[in-house]
Amino acid sequence: MIIGTLFIVSAPSGAGKTTLVNGLLAADAQVRRSVSYTTRAPRPGEVDGHDYHFIDLATFSDMRSRGEFVEWAHVHGNYYGTSRAWLEAQMASGMDMLLEIDWQGAEQVRREFIEAVGIFILPPSMEELQRRLQGRATDTPEVIARRLAVARDEMSHVVEFDFVIINHDLAVAQGELMAAVQASRLRVKRQLARHPEIFRFIQQD
């Protein structure tokens, strides 16, 4: 039986998703970030099984052909995927799982986990998003222009999600993300799954 809740968090680059998710994970021990499988090599400091499950292309292809990934993507020459069995095992143990993926990955996941909770992080405006991307001082103007174009397309899918958080003020947005998580846990089906003993009296004659 699935006891935990699956949270999907999506956002365009520069909206502050990583900062907000890290804040949630630090504050709520009941939520665990999903660990993806990838064919890319580990970067310095990355730990297998913690940051990613690092596997070779042949292994990834075998897992994909067996339908073991609830979602997968090819990004910058490397493959990334989320294991269905691993997610189910974590949630069956009572953990809430969090996936940071784009809207296309979210669409794939919600076909398999129809009760997953989608949360989209929006910037307050395109002008602010551009300012944040420029403030990183890591991308060329051409790259920033491409990121903004991609962001417009991504944000057009916001209506497909359950919650939307506008990250104008980081502290406020952090509180709203935590509130969305807490509210989702209070849904009747989730409470029944987590606390069946409390609801037994309802079924008594």
- CATH number of the domain where residue 174 is located: 3.40.50.300
pLDDT given for residue 203 in this prediction: 67
CA distance linking residue 167 with residue 179, whole number of Å: 14
Tell me if residue 88 falls in helix, strand or coil. helix
Strands, E assignment, 142-202: 163-166
Task: Please check whether residue 54 lies inside any domain of the structure.
Answer: no
pLDDT given for residue 29 in this prediction: 95
- Do 10 and 164 form a contact (C-beta atoms < 8 A)? no
- Structural domain span for residue 101: 6-34+95-203
Task: Please check whether residue 60 lies inside any domain of the structure.
Answer: no
pLDDT given for residue 164 in this prediction: 97
- Do 144 and 130 form a contact (C-beta atoms < 8 A)? yes
pLDDT given for residue 205 in this prediction: 53
Task: Please check whether residue 57 lies inside any domain of the structure.
Answer: no
Residue for token pair 């991504």: 154
87 Cβ partners below 8 Å, 6+ apart? 6, 34, 70, 97, 113
Task: Please check whether residue 173 lies inside any domain of the structure.
Answer: yes
pLDDT given for residue 2 in this prediction: 80
Tens of pLDDT along the chain (205 residues)?
789 999 999 999 889 999 999 999 999 999 999 999 999 999 899 999 988 999 999 999 999 999 999 999 888 789 999 999 999 999 999 999 999 998 988 999 999 999 999 999 999 999 998 998 888 777 788 888 988 998 999 999 999 999 999 999 999 999 999 999 999 999 998 898 888 888 887 766 5
Domain count, the chain: 1
Task: Please check whether residue 19 lies inside any domain of the structure.
Answer: yes
Task: Please check whether residue 59 lies inside any domain of the structure.
Answer: no
CA distance linking residue 5 with residue 71, whole number of Å: 17
pLDDT given for residue 197 in this prediction: 87
